[in-house]
Amino acid sequence: MSRDDVKEIIIEIDAKRLAVIVLLVVMAAGVLISYFSSLASFIAPSEDLPLNIVTAYSADATGNPKNKFHRGELVLLNVTIEMAYAYYYDTDYYLFTSPTKFLLLIQVMYGNTPVFLGFVVEEVSPDGTESTGIGYRIPDDAPLGTYTVKVMVWSDWLDKGGTVLASNSGLEFTFSVEG
């Protein structure tokens, strides 16, 4: 056989074999997508802390992030909460199977003085997120300076047996009032 001899291999695939190949490729793609998306998902540190505060920030009345305000303006205090799809215990992962109701509390402080407390009850599904905002109108006679916002995520009011549901509950951020 010389180098110039060309060999041609012809593979014929009938409809059944083609369908099986396509099915295997689709299944493999689904497994890979599921695997990589689970790597990016939130896994709770324990069964008792299924939630996480993803973002918390102040915004203007139209929802645009902003941290400098004037007296009389409306401040939207926006929070996004995510629920884990699983938690790790001992040597295994356990899946969350039902949504979690939570009490979102937002406290605004000027120095050591509380000036506002807002709350809302929400629910989030496993591997889901919930975004909400609470409005606070800055009084016309509010002191100028920096205000601290504290975000807390509880199962219920503490006097009714509530517990903390997010490991980063108590997260703080600030905004300022300039006049």
> What pLDDT is stored for residue 91 in this prediction?
80
Q: Where are the domains of the chain?
A: 44-177
> What pLDDT is stored for residue 90 in this prediction?
82
> What pLDDT is stored for residue 17 in this prediction?
84
What is the C-alpha to C-alpha distance for residues 133 and 121, in angstroms, rounded to an integer?
12
What is the C-alpha to C-alpha distance for residues 34 and 162, in angstroms, rounded to an integer?
35
Average pLDDT by consecutive 10-residue portion of the chain (179 residues)? 75 84 89 68 83 97 95 97 88 88 97 96 95 96 97 95 95 94
> What pLDDT is stored for residue 1 in this prediction?
57
> What pLDDT is stored for residue 121 in this prediction?
96
> What pLDDT is stored for residue 2 in this prediction?
64
CATH classification code of 44-177? 2.60.40.10
> What pLDDT is stored for residue 152 in this prediction?
97
Interior/surface letters 60-70, b for 16+ CB within 10 angstroms, e for the rest:
eeeeeebeebe
